[in-house]
């Protein structure tokens, strides 16, 4: 085949695969939209069949040969052993272009990167027999359904066998896919290429070194009053407020839609169709808003990926840490700021005048940023949030290394919360069943939340030097912040490895320094702590 014919065959194949991914994404959206329970088995079987068909098309021997030939012609290799190989067009120190034109062509450098990404995953997936893949898909479907039931009934013991089956199925898949390091290291690398337990252990050690003294000094300071946050804020009123907030954030119905689910999540169908869900907490309105801002960060990232990458591996394989950096940036650096609440608080106060009588925007802002240990990760403040992630990381290592059976997970979870945060969840729904990640086989994903927080802080330092963030937030020009992120980072999707893109945006190698410094500066100011005390 000529180069032109190889490219044509590859593009047609990728379009077919994108169509399957679209169908499965829509089924995932539906699964969290409270569909009729009586049809669960039927939907589960059909989803497994669809997944099997996707895999049949993916495993096409002819297309594997075509992809290999194309890789040879383009001079690219598949990433191996936890490191992202560089395409020829990615070497050097050139600055990524800032054009956001939807008519920009898909060039040979783009194609080389896509072939590299596809070939890397294909070589792993080819080692997995279809039977093992179908077993995993069935275990996944049952796990998700049983988690929804167990969470409602606060019944971890009844769910544990289904989680164990999913763990075993994913361990089998991971082993078959090959690679270096432990099976858990390979899972970590799957969500954040190049990261393993050794790197995460060092990363968390640095955060622990800086966050624990800060938390200790906050504990000695005068507490910030938060009682008014926990009055009754009916969900219906919150929904009306959220519509106004969505407008402020520039999230419009011509490209997005949001609803509700037991656990907030975002699904990018394509640039022009992004779905996300939020959750209203009637005893804490601020958390519902922050959840929405967080998911809007994910949504903007999906929406801002260059149109030329739509349906390609460059769009669908973005590292979890990079994606989380954009949602954590929106939540922590914009959504927890005083200028944000100076705009948003009047919406909330107009809807809930009795609950917020005598409260002003600054007092509300301080309450939103109060540091108080909580059993629920998505309700955690910025300082204790990394501890929630470390708990999950440590438990996950044991669970996936077979030293902690799923049946013992709830007890281990509660012990970790007592050790790290001095609290114990009141039940399984508030504790071990609170997150959707393990029931959905997102093993190795949790650490990327802390990694994303650190990446967000580093990107924000550059953004804040170039833009007047406070003025943009106060003047309701939030989309302009997203335009900066689109031009500098989001539009590229996975065109460049995450850490290379961070370096291109900030001019520095990734480190946790900006994150730790952000926490220390912000919370020393909020609590009146002398920074010198953190050095003792």
Which of these, 438, 360, 366, lies nearest to 400 by C-alpha position?
Answer: 438
Architecture per CATH, 191-535: Orthogonal Bundle (1.10)
100 or 213, greater pLDDT = 213
Nearest in space to 510 (alpha carbons), one of 304, 202, 78: 202
Q: How many helices (H) and strands (E) does the chain have?
A: 21, 3
pLDDT tens track for 7-61: 999 999 999 999 999 998 888 888 767 788 888 888 888 888 888 899 899 999 9
Q: What's the residue count for the chain? A: 536
Report the alpha-carbon distance of residue 47 to residue 70 in Å, rounded: 32
Whether 295 is catalytic is yes
**Cα–Cα dist 96/90, whole Å:** 10
Angstrom CA distances, 173 to 169, 192, 331, 376, 447, stand at 6, 18, 34, 31, 21
pLDDT digits (tens, 9 = 90+) for 217-258: 999 999 999 999 999 999 999 999 999 999 999 999 899 988
Q: How many CA atoms lie less than 13 Å away from 231 in the CB half-sphere? A: 12
Catalytic: which of 114, 146, 295, 486? 295
Q: Which DSSP string do the residues of 79-108 spell out, in sequence order?
A: -BTTB-PPPGGG-S-PPPP----TT----H
473 with 334: CB under 8 angstroms?
Answer: yes
**Measured distance CA(395)–CA(429) in Å, rounded:** 17
Question: What percentage of the chain has pLDDT greater than the value 70?
Answer: 95
Query: Contact, 149 vs 108, CB < 8 A?
Result: no
Q: Dihedral of the CA atoms 174, 175, 176, 181 (nearest 10)?
A: 90
The mean per-residue pLDDT over the stretch 186-201 comes to 96
Residues of the chain with CATH 1.10.1370.30: 191-535
Residue 511 to residue 203: CA distance in whole angstroms: 9
Tens digit of each residue's pLDDT (9 = 90 or more) over 340-350: 999 999 999 99
Question: Residue 398 is encoded by which pair of tokens?
Answer: 């044991």
Question: What's the predicted TM-score (pTM) here?
Answer: 0.90
Determine the average pLDDT of the residues in 139-143. Answer: 93
């Amino acid at each position: 085949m000529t180069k032109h014919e190889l490219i044509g065959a590859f593009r047609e194949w990728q379009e077919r695969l994108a169509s399957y991914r679209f169908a499965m994404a829509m089924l995932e959206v539906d699964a969290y939209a409270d569909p009729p329970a009586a049809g669960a088995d039927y939907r589960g079987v059909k989803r497994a069949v669809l997944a099997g068909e996707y895999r049949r098309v993916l495993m096409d021997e002819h297309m594997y040969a075509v992809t290999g030939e194309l890789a040879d012609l383009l001079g690219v290799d598949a990433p191996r052993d936890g490191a992202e190989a560089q395409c020829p067009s990615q070497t050097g120190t050139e600055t990524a272009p800032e054009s956001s034109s939807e008519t920009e062509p898909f060039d040979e450098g783009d194609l080389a990167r896509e072939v590299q990404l596809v070939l890397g995953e294909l070589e792993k997936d080819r080692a997995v027999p279809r039977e093992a893949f179908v077993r995993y898909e069935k275990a996944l479907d049952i796990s998700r359904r049983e988690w929804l039931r167990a969470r409602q009934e606060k019944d971890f013991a009844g769910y544990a066998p289904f989680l164990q089956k999913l763990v075993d199925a994913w361990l089998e898949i991971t082993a078959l896919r090959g690679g270096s390091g432990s099976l858990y290291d390979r899972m970590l690398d799957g969500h954040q290429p190049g990261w393993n337990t050794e790197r995460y252990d060092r990363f968390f050690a640095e955060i622990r070194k800086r966050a624990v003294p800060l938390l200790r000094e906050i504990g000695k300071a005068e507490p910030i009053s938060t009682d008014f946050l926990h009055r009754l804020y009916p969900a219906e009123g919150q929904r009306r407020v959220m519509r106004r907030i969505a407008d402020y954030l520039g999230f419009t119905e011509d490209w997005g839609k949001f609803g509700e689910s037991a656990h907030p999540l975002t699904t990018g169908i394509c640039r022009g169709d992004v779905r996300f869900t939020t959750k209203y907490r009637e005893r804490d309105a601020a958390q519902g808003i922050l959840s929405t801002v967080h998911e809007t960060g994910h949504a903007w990232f999906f929406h801002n990926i260059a149109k030329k990458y739509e349906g390609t591996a460059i769009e669908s394989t973005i590292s979890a840490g990079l994606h989380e950096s954009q949602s954590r940036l929106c939540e922590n650096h914009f959504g927890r700021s005083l200028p944000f609440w100076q705009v948003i608080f009047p919406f909330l106060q107009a809807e809930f005048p009795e609950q917020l009588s005598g409260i002003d925007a600054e007092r509300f802002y301080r309450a939103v940023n109060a540091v108080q240990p909580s059993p629920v990760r998505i309700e955690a403040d910025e300082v204790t949030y990394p501890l929630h992630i470390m708990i999950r990381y440590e438990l996950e290592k044991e669970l996936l290394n077979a030293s902690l059976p799923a049946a013992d997970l709830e007890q281990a979870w509660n012990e970790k919360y007592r050790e790290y945060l001095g609290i114990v969840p009141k039940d399984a729904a508030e504790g071990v069943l609170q997150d959707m990640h393990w029931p959905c086989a997102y093993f190795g994903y949790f650490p990327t939340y802390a990694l994303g927080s650190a990446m967000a802080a580093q990107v924000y330092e550059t953004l804040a030097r170039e833009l007047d963030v406070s003025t943009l937030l106060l003047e309701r020009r939030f989309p302009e912040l997203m335009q900066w992120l689109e031009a500098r980072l989001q539009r590229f999707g996975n065109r460049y490895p995450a850490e290379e893109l961070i370096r291109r945006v900030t001019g520095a190698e990734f480190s946790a320094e900006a994150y730790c410094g952000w926490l220390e500066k912000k919370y020393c100011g909020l609590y009146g702590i002398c920074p010198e005390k953190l050095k003792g």
